[in-house]
Amino acid sequence: MKLSMMQYDPARDYGSVYRLFTDPDVNPLILFKPDHNDSVSFRKWLDESLCTTMNDFMVFYQEKEFLWIAYSYQFSPLDGHCRFTSAVQPEFQNTGVGALIAFQFLDHMFKHYPLRKIYFHVYSYNQHSLDCVRMLTDREEGILREYHYYDGAYHDLHIFAVTRQQFAERRPAHLK
């Protein structure tokens, strides 16, 4: 599968990004997002976040079809780390595309920045993302118990990290 990773372009991508963030099957899986998802507050949040909080915000396409977003935030070059979030169109969830894109985005981050490690925060009810992250790293650095209320229950937040060295060891051959 040939995937194209590109910088976010509001003229080309805003509608697809907004629909992805507000999709009822995707929104509960995203940690770093606005509290309100009407189009006005979303655009304000996204524009402000792109200037202040997010470091890289990439979109992924297969030919001309929008698939996925991936972005880094809380970028701390002095400490050598950042956080990573991604979201995929519902019809591409559980297909393996997410893992391919995560590897491509992480490869970009480690090649372009002096990062020591990249953190992933995943809710316990997001089993597919937990499985995906565990393909990248076995380094679970913590669990925040009963951190998030969703769908009538409290859920844990798992915190993982992948180091530069660990990523280099697990980097797929097509990215080397």
d(C-alpha 33, C-alpha 104), whole Å: 22
Q: Per the structure, how many domains does the chain have?
A: 1
Angle between helices 10-22 and 39-52 (to 10 degrees): 110
Chunked into runs of 10 residues, the chain (176 residues) has average pLDDT values of: 87 92 87 79 92 92 88 93 90 81 92 95 92 88 96 96 91 66
pLDDT value, residue 1: 64
Among candidate residues 59, 111, 66, 64, the one with its CA nearest the CA of residue 86: 59
**What Å distances lie between residue 126 and 3, 92, 119, 146, 169, CA to CA?**
24, 15, 16, 14, 26
CATH number at residue 19: 3.40.630.30
pTM comes to 0.87
pLDDT value, residue 164: 95
Q: Which domain holds residue 90?
A: 4-175
d(C-alpha 148, C-alpha 127), whole Å: 15
